[in-house]
Amino acid sequence: MKTLLKIICAASALTFFVASAQAEIRLKFGHPAPDTDLSHKMALMFAKDVKEGTNGSIVIDVYPNGQLGSDSQLIDGVRSGIIDFELSGLNNFTGMIPQAGAFTLPFMFPDRTTAYKVFDGKVGQSVLDSLQTFGMKGLGFAENGYRNISNNRGPVRVPADLAGLQMRVNNSQALNDLFQALKANPQQIPVSELYTALETGVVDAQDHPISVVEAFKFFEVQKYLSLSQHAYSALTLVMNASRFNSLTEKEQSVILSAADKAISFQRSASQTAEEDKIKYLESEGMVVNRDVDRAAFQKAAKPVWDRFIATNGDALINDILAASE
C-alpha cells in the first residue's frame, strides 16, 4: 500500500512539474538599439509588466544591440514567428505599406503633442491594423523623436549648407528625396554600420533624433549638430500575429496594457531627457546650433510632398492633417 502511495505521489508530482513547465511561455523581443537607449528600458519594462500581469506564465527575453538582426531581419523574424516582438522605426514598414510613408514626410508634425494625437487615434490605428495582412499585430507607436542633422563640415542653418555633403539616410523614401532636393548626396547605410562609416569618411553627415546620436555615440565621430527637427520619427512595436492570437483573452489584455504603459513611459522619458542629452553632447565636444531657418527648409521640402502624393495619393496625408487639428 505504501509503495502504491509513493508511486501515486511521484506521478502526481511529475504531472505537476510537466504542467508547470508547459505553463510558462517564453518569448523573444529584439530591437536594434544599444542597451543604454530608452528603447531597451522600454522593452525591459514591457517584459516585466507582462511577466507580473500573467503571474509568470509569459516570460519575455529582450535582445538589444541588433543581436537578433537588423531592422529588416527583425521584422522578417516576427512575420515568420522566429521572433515574437520587435521595435524599430516606422520607416522600415513602408515597403509593405507605402502609404505609411506619409508619417515620415518632412515637417508633417509641428510638435510632439500633435504627433501623439495622430498616432494614438484612428489614423495610427489604421496603420497598425494593416500590419495584420503581413502576419503582425501592431501594439503601438513609441518614438525616436525629431530628426536633426549632424556633420563634420560646419553648422547647417539654411538648405544651401547641405550641398555636396555625403549624407547617410535611412530607407525612408521621403528622407532620401529630401536630402537629394537639398543637393546632398544621400546614401542608405544600416544604423549598425553608421559609426564606422562616419569614422572612416564613407559619409560625413547623418540625421537622427538626439537620443540616437547619444546612444550610438555619434558625437565621437561628428563635430556639428544642427537642430533642424525636419521630421518626426516614430518607433513601431509589433508582435507575431499568430502568437498573439494563440494567447488567452486575459494574456492578450496584459500584452496590450503593458505595451500602452511602456510606450507612455518611453515618450515621456524621451521628451524629459532631450535637453540634458543636448548638454551632454556639447560637453563631449559637439557644436550645437539652433538657428536653423526652418521656413526655408519647409519650402525646399515641398517637392518631396508632391512626389509622395504623385506615387501614393494624398488620402493618408489628408487624414493625418485632419486628425492634427
Gap between the Cα atoms of 192 and 201, Å rounded? 16
Query: Cα–Cα distance between 167 and 186 in angstroms, integer?
Result: 5
Q: What is the DSSP letter of 248?
A: -
pLDDT of residue 40: 96
Identify the band that residue 23 occupies on the pLDDT scale cut at 50, 70 and 90.
low
Under 8 Å between Cβ of 148 and 222: no
Is 34 in a helix, a strand, or coil? coil
In a domain, 274, yes or no: yes
Q: Running DSSP on this structure, what letter comes out for residue 23?
A: H
Which three-class secondary structure state does DSSP give residue 129? helix
Residue 5, in any domain of the structure: no
Could you tell me the residue range of the domain that residue 116 belongs to? 25-324
Burial 157-192 (b: 16+ CB within 10 A, else e): bebebbeebbbbbbebbbbbbbbebbebbbbebebe
User: Per the confidence metrics, is the pTM higher than 0.85?
Assistant: yes
Residue 10 maps to a domain: no
pLDDT tens-digit series, residues 210-252: 999 999 999 999 999 999 999 999 999 999 999 999 999 999 9
Residue 12 lies in a domain: no
In a domain, 11, yes or no: no
CATH value at residue 225: 3.40.190.170
Number of domains in the chain: 1
Residue 321 has pLDDT above 70, yes or no: yes
Lowest-confidence pick of 6-20, 43-57, 233-247: 6-20
Average model confidence (pLDDT) across the chain = 93
